[in-house]
Structure 1
Amino acid sequence: MLLSHAFGLFTHPDAEWASIRKEHETPRRVYVAYVLLLAAIGPVCAYIATAHLGWTVGNERLIKLTEISAMQLSVLTYLAILVGVFALGYAINWMAKTYGAHEEPNAANGIALAAYSCTPLFLAGFALLYPVPWFNALVFLAAACYGAWLMYDGLPIVMGIPKERAIMYGGALLTVALVILVSTRVGSVILWNSGFGPVFISG
């Protein structure tokens, strides 16, 4: 079962990456059995936290989102995660020849590497059930750092390249990931101006 890889990436990542390369699952299966499930953790927890639990900043009153607004933003976030993982996986495959790896027609290894590297960020979504901004920021920062390390660790194993090339390859991919992140922020501003912005209420 693909979900078993989530635990292995925290306990024995090298062996898990080798297993992932050996399985060589299709992008569709990785998405259906792994990404669609784990990517939902953050949006679902964010919906619960923003619509039902609420949060405070300093000594201010409890703030919540309306249920419709929270649902809209959670669904849009979920879609952005799915697109972002695919875009990163496609970039991994697209850059493969540049760094001596094999470029595949269906980007199977690239999608798998992107999906499994994002595992810490998927699981960090549980932290949103405790809606304290500084706590959430620290958890997601730690998850992003471990995710970046997982990608660097997995590149030579999954893509079959020398380890010394993984540094440059990983650096290029982190740049792509930042571009994707900035694009989602810009997209958020556009959507908020189009009527999908958050609607706040007092708790």
Structure 2
Amino acid sequence: MILNHIWGIYTSPKQEWQIIDYKHESYFYALSHILIIAIIPSAMAFYASAYLGWNIGAGVTAETIKLTPQSALHMAIAMYFGLIFGVTALAVLIHELAKSFDATPTYTQSLEIAAYTATPLFMAGFSAFYPELWFIMTIVLIGISYSVYLLYTGVPIILHIPQEKGFIFSSSVVTCGLVLMVILMTGSVILWSYGLGPQHM
């Protein structure tokens, strides 16, 4: 069943990684997980941007900013495909980087690591139901922290490498993830400079 590992990675992550390692699913299964989970932050961002509005500032004078539904939809679609690209690109980096650590994972295993470690960050998209910047940043920070924790616990299990090597490998993956994030943000800024930015109401 699609998404059947979500509960486990929150309640007992190490045991769930062992289950994932014992019974590897197909490439389609791991990809489907990402295709479904990426809907959450994208859909929540659309709804919050078009109908709830974002509160910038503090107090009664805080300004509420909304996008037009059409602009919010375009941004949500771009966000959806950007998230999918980010995770699949990270999987490629994991697959190639593993060769330097004497590990030979399949691309499906690399995608599993990327997909399940990204899940808490994507689930943080539910925070958009309360579109206060401080609240969303807090939840996103928690999501990032737990995603990093899942990465550090899952890499030694899935790649079958010692804990020490797993720590170094995971640190390298985190660095690559930050670089990918900067690339995506830079791409967004470039698109905005060509007039493809959001349109406010």
Distance 2:194 2:88 in 1: 25
Q: Is the 8 A contact 1:101 1:161 kept in 2?
A: yes
Between 150-159 and 17-26, the greater mean CA deviation after superposition: 17-26
Q: Secondary structure at the match of 1:62?
A: strand
- Equivalences, count: 198
Quote the offset at 1:38 in angstroms. Answer: 0.8
Query: Structure 2 residue aligned with 1:78, among 71, 77, 80?
Result: 80
Query: Match for residue 141 of structure 2?
Result: 141
Structure 1 segment 96-111 matched on structure 2, within 5 A:
96-104=98-106, 107-111=107-111
Q: Is the 8 A contact 1:69 1:196 kept in 2?
A: no
Query: Match for residue 179 of structure 1?
Result: 179
Quote the offset at 1:189 in angstroms. Answer: 0.6
Q: Does 1:41 align with 2:43?
A: no
Distance 1:36 1:119 in 2: 11
Q: Does 1:152 align with 2:138?
A: no
Distance 1:160 1:2 in 2: 25
One-letter amino acid of the counterpart of residue 197, structure 1: G
Q: Is the 8 A contact 1:94 1:103 kept in 2?
A: no
Query: Match for residue 126 of structure 1?
Result: 126
Q: Secondary structure at the match of 1:96?
A: helix
Distance 1:98 1:69 in 2: 44
Q: Is the 8 A contact 2:105 2:159 kept in 1?
A: no
Q: Does 1:53 align with 2:52?
A: yes
- Identity in percent: 36
Distance 2:154 2:105 in 1: 16
Query: Match for residue 94 of structure 2?
Result: 92
Query: Match for residue 197 of structure 1?
Result: 197
Distance 1:2 1:152 in 2: 24
**For residues 131-169 of structure 1, what are the alpha-carbon distances to aligned partners after superposition, in whole Å with 9 as ceiling and x for unaligned?**
101110110011001100100100010111111111110
Q: Secondary structure at the match of 1:118?
A: helix
Structure 2: 5+ residue stretches without partners = none
Q: Secondary structure at the match of 2:167?
A: helix
Q: Secondary structure at the match of 1:4?
A: coil
Between 61-70 and 19-28, the greater mean CA deviation after superposition: 19-28
Q: Is the 8 A contact 1:13 1:150 kept in 2?
A: yes
**For residues 37-92 of structure 1, what are the alpha-carbon distances to aligned partners after superposition, in whole Å with 9 as ceiling and x for unaligned?**
11110010110001001122231343200011100111001001000000111111
Quote the offset at 1:193 in angstroms. Answer: 1.5
The CA RMSD measured in Å over matched residues stands at 1.1
